[in-house]
Amino acid sequence: MTKNDLKLSLSEKITFVSMLTNYFQAEIPVSEALSLVEQDCSNRKIKYLAHSLTSAIAKGNSLYKALDKFHDTFGDIFMAIARAGEESGEIDKNWKRLLTILESEKQIRDKIIFAMIYPCILTIIGLIVIVIFLGWVFPSFAETITGNGGNLPASLVFLLAFRAFIFNNFILLGLAIIAAVVAFIYAMKQKACRDFVDKIAVKIPVLSNLIKYLNLMHFFAIFQVTYDAGIPIVHSLELATSSVKNSYIYGKFKQIPIKIEKGLTLAKTLKMTDIVPFDMIAIISSGENSGKLGQMLQTVSKTLEEKVDAAIKALVKLIEPILIVIFGIFVLYMLVVFVKSNLAMLNSIPM
């Protein structure tokens, strides 16, 4: 394994940062803390990382310089906070801030995954029912009816034709789906296509709230942590802006650091984006005027976490009835076919 090959999952980053944070808070020297991580952790990638950092520090490098060799693994935001902690002498506090960012990201990811479990289960059950009826139940009815010399109902003929089309073209349909997925992924890597999709996404009811609040939550969480870490406000805003994933919102936010450098207030520049809710702008303005911006940023971050939770629940509540209606139509149609097939089978039996 080389430094270029090292890719840590979010959980692995949390494990690494959590262990070091605990050691730093216990006032254990950096070199010794890294050695303890190497000894205590069973994850081979984390052990390799700790060993590499220990070796680099033994050669006279600072922790930040040692970490810089793994810049692609951790990213700009992580590196900036780590550097600020080293330069300010508050390495334990800043690594705690890093841990807060990572845990917050994982928490939101877990909430989204958990919220989608029920719709996914509903979809799987619906597909299983459809497959069972198309694969075994209706063909059995058709065989019995035709075997007795009866006529198949038009609705059953349609379903059997649909089944035959899928079974006869299974490989081609599979390849078409794979090609469509690959084409979509490729298209989303193209800036023009991604910009178009991101712009449309922020205008779709319900979904737009989740996208906006998620991006705002990332922005203000990073801004708050980097600002509290002692990073200059303009650079903090640049780092926070880099965390915005939606290209449409990013386009609105990338001018914020530039306007701050020109002397505009943060509240005014945020208002000009037409993205940040008015109540949050008012809180930011209050923080600027009172000299308690860091505290107000924390308030905004917590408010956005609550809004993200509410947006996730609202989206799931919308998805569930849509899935129920879609599968309900399929099941109702198959029920009608089932009843007609039963009647046709009974009529085909010689008296």
| Angle in degrees, CA 93, 58, 68, rounded to 5 | 55
| CATH class for the region spanning 10-102 | mainly alpha
Longest dimension (CA), the chain: 98
Spatial distance between the Cα atoms of 56 and 68, rounded to a whole number of angstroms: 11
Q: 55-73 burial string, b = 16+ CB within 10 Å, else e?
A: ebbeeeeebbebbeebeeb
Q: What is the pLDDT along the chain (351 residues), one digit of tens a residue?
A: 555 568 899 999 999 999 999 999 999 999 999 999 999 999 999 999 999 999 999 998 999 899 998 988 888 888 888 888 888 888 888 899 889 889 988 988 888 888 888 888 888 888 888 888 888 888 887 888 787 777 888 888 888 898 889 888 989 999 999 999 999 999 988 989 999 999 999 988 888 999 999 999 989 988 988 898 888 999 999 989 988 989 999 999 999 999 999 999 999 999 999 999 999 999 999 999 998 998 999 999 889 989 998 998 888 888 888 888 888 888 888 888 888 877 777 776 665
For residue 72, the model assigns a pLDDT of: 87
Domain ranges of the chain: 10-102, 116-351
| Angle in degrees, CA 338, 344, 348, rounded to 5 | 145
For residue 3, the model assigns a pLDDT of: 55
For residue 228, the model assigns a pLDDT of: 87
* Amino acid symbol at 6: L
Spatial distance between the Cα atoms of 51 and 56, rounded to a whole number of angstroms: 9
Q: How do residues 272-319 score in pLDDT, each as one tens digit?
A: 999 999 999 999 999 999 989 989 999 998 899 899 989 988 888 888
